[in-house]
Chains A and B, each alone.
Chain A
Amino acid sequence: MTDSVQTTTGKKNKSMTQRRLIPTYIFLVIFSLFSVFPLYWMITAATNKSLEVAQGKIWFGTNLAENFTKLIRDEALGTSMWNSFFYATVQMLLCLLICSLAGYGFELYHDKAKDKLFAFLLLGMMIPQVATMIPLFRMMSGGKLLNTVWAFILPQLSTPFMIMMFRQNSRNFPPDIMEAARLDGLSEIRIFFSMYMPVMKSTYAAAAVITFMNAWNAYLWPKVVMTKNQAQTMPMLIANLAGGYTIDYGELMLGVLFCSIPTMIIFFILQKQFAEGITGSVK
């Protein structure tokens, strides 16, 4: 009897809790729809004619093949995809290496002078990109680096934000591991590669996603230093599609779709590590 009363009360409580959650769910569903709708519209628009998109059609159409043919004919899609991928990958790899070394050094070889240097470094975050654009452009132009991968990546190889992120997350790196490794005779550099890197995997994943996305989506700086068609990146291609007196929205949205796919893939693959890395957890 007591058991059955407890069970009924338990069920009642559970259903009451569930009922109380209904408004929350409705709220969340509505906001999810708001977030997903632009993505959905991008995909359907890529299959429609420009006029249909302009008139607000939000269901799938039959113009995908034509939009694709036009996109391939009008724009150097392959070259731009490759350029963006190549620049973003090189930037990501080098930036991770440099910034993680810096973050590691600042946190684990910690002293007062380094703290001051770090504070100075953080000031760099306050300088807007446009303020450094002209001097940087002069440097790149003077060094004959325009239209090369170096012009794209050099200004972004070491960013205060990334160094700070690695430094913050390095606080969770157990110093005991370093002591143990030293006792075992590992050199400092080996400790970094063999001990620090594997332990900080999730921070690397988060940093990789952020760096890759930033590099992939960069527009202003590449537009300044990539002055040739052959060096064009995806955001520049999208901008070209979006300009002019008459815009073909179907073709434009297909271009945007192509531009979004790589960042989506990277994000989905590293989603779990990204969340861990952002919150600074270490396994």
Chain B
Amino acid sequence: MKKQIISALLVGAMAVSLAACGSSGEAGKTAESGAAQPANVEKEDDHTLSVYAWDKNFNIPALEAAEKAYQKKDPDFKLDIIEQSQSSDVENALTLAGSSDDYSTLPDIVLFQDHYINKYVADYPDAWQDVNDADINWDDFAAEKISFSTIGGKHYGVPVDNGTVIAAYRTDLLKEAGHSIDEMTGITWDKFDEIGKDVYEKTGKYLLCMDGDGNDLPYMMMQAEGKSQFKDGKPVFADDDTFKQIIGVIAKLQQDNVLYLANDWSDYTDQAIQGDMVAGVINGNWIIPTIEQVKDNSGKWEITSMPTLSGEEGYASNGGSSLYLTAACKKPDLAKDFLAYTFGGGEGAQATYDEALTKGGVITTFTPAGGSDVYNQGVEFFNNQPIYSQIVKMGANVKPVEQSDYHYPAREQIASAIQNIIGGADVDSSLKDAQDQVVFQMNSVTSEAA
């Protein structure tokens, strides 16, 4: 009797869950088929590739454009785009697969942040497959972009977007203060400060804004000078004169009410930019959709290059990602052909990049694509300036500088040093502290590994 009841109980429990499975829609089917078959069932299909990507409004439309372009070559082709909430989700998936020593759970391709790829290739060398033999002319891409995905002389990734920095200004406010966009091109930071003071006095708006917490200005300003915050893998915040000068400029701009340092990222985008507090924004061109949110300001913005210490036009790049082939990919030939045909500059490249731009606002670093009609159209929001082709051209001028796995820890430490300096702390000792903190983090990782 007891045995009967126990078995009835277990069967009941199973029945409840299976009944729910059976009556479900798509999800139930996944659950059932998942239990019965290998999880990566799509990978058996010769015309399907899976990819992890984030941002429904940016990267994912670009990937959809590539899928559509490749379907001209292979009508059965399908790109299974698995949406992630942010870039760190992909990094976590890699870490998890690496720590579990099971790369089979990864998709065929991942979109990966440029600043992190070096570290992940070094930490998990078995997680990747290089794309050296893909049919891609690497010289067609901006050298700076390719420098991230070229590791140990091998190409690991194919670029998607472009992080080229734009300096965007409100021409109406500049005019109100007695200046013009032409004056903003190829100027020194001192001149920028002078104009900024005029703008604040006349209009009450800041000529520049930045997230004070994740401050990207020092990195971008250094790159515009052709320099890095790192030398031979070590931070040089306290030792590099250019860097010290730059930090001095940032502190002065803030004290002169030319620069608004927001408390955090949402304060930066929602209050400073969309709250119409500023007359200028300097950041990677992915900031454009945020600027465009304020429809009332359509036609009033224009873009140009960054100021520098010497007054030459400054070019820099901030952020961006590329597509990388994982060890889980069992169809590397299909994957490489797909990447080469679309993002890599093959026959489908123009269609891919044109649609990626119109649907997602993704701008390429593939220089020939900048010549298309789509790229050369005037953009109404930016006073009919052909900003996209201009950004591609600016991107080709960005100088590759030494990169570090500690880019983001450095950014954090420098941001807090800047806050201290603005608060009255000594420049040299604040930068020395920041440098020591980063060195400490580097050493603690090295000793853990040892």
B35 lies within 8 A of chain A by Cβ:
yes
Minimum C-beta distance from B253 to chain A (A):
25
Chain A residues near B384 (CB, 8 Å)? Answer: none
B54 lies within 8 A of chain A by Cβ:
yes
A83 lies within 8 A of chain B by Cβ:
yes
B11 lies within 8 A of chain A by Cβ:
no
Please state if B102 and A245 are interface contacts (CB–CB under 8 Å).
no
Please state if A134 and B99 are interface contacts (CB–CB under 8 Å).
yes
Q: Number of contacting residues on B, CB 8 A?
A: 56
The distance in angstroms between the C-alpha atoms of A74 and B83, with both chains bound, is 11
Please state if A79 and B99 are interface contacts (CB–CB under 8 Å).
no
The distance in angstroms between the C-alpha atoms of A148 and B34, with both chains bound, is 6
B445 lies within 8 A of chain A by Cβ:
no
B441 lies within 8 A of chain A by Cβ:
no
Q: Contacting chain A: which of B168-176, B288-296, B344-352?
A: B288-296
Please state if A245 and B286 are interface contacts (CB–CB under 8 Å).
yes
Please state if A224 and B96 are interface contacts (CB–CB under 8 Å).
yes
Please state if A187 and B86 are interface contacts (CB–CB under 8 Å).
no
Q: Contacting chain B: which of A48-56, A61-69, A195-203?
A: A48-56
Please state if A138 and B24 are interface contacts (CB–CB under 8 Å).
no
A112 lies within 8 A of chain B by Cβ:
no
* 0/1 string, A148-170, CB within 8 A of B gives 1: 11100000000000000000000
A7 lies within 8 A of chain B by Cβ:
no
Majority secondary structure, A binding face: helix
Chain A residues near B286 (CB, 8 Å)? Answer: 245
* 0/1 string, B330-344, CB within 8 A of A gives 1: 000000000000000
From B39, B84, B294, A144 is in contact (CB under 8 Å) with B39
**Of residues 60 to 99 in A, which have CB atoms within 8 Å of B's CB atoms?**
74-75, 78-79, 82-83, 86, 89-90, 93-94, 97
Please state if B24 and A82 are interface contacts (CB–CB under 8 Å).
yes
The distance in angstroms between the C-alpha atoms of A79 and B80, with both chains bound, is 17
A94-B16, A134-B96, A147-B31 are known; give 15 further A-B pairs, CB within 8 A.
A54-B270, A82-B27, A86-B28, A86-B31, A94-B13, A137-B96, A144-B34, A189-B6, A190-B5, A228-B82, A229-B80, A236-B85, A243-B86, A244-B55, A245-B290
CB pairs A–B below 8 angstroms (15 shown): A55-B270, A90-B16, A93-B16, A137-B100, A144-B38, A145-B35, A148-B31, A148-B34, A189-B5, A189-B6, A230-B30, A231-B31, A243-B55, A245-B286, A246-B57
Residue positions of B touching A, CB distance < 8 A: 1-2, 5-6, 9, 13, 16-17, 20-21, 24-28, 30-32, 34-35, 37-39, 54-58, 80-86, 89, 93, 96, 99-102, 104-105, 107, 269-271, 274-275, 286-287, 289-290, 293-294
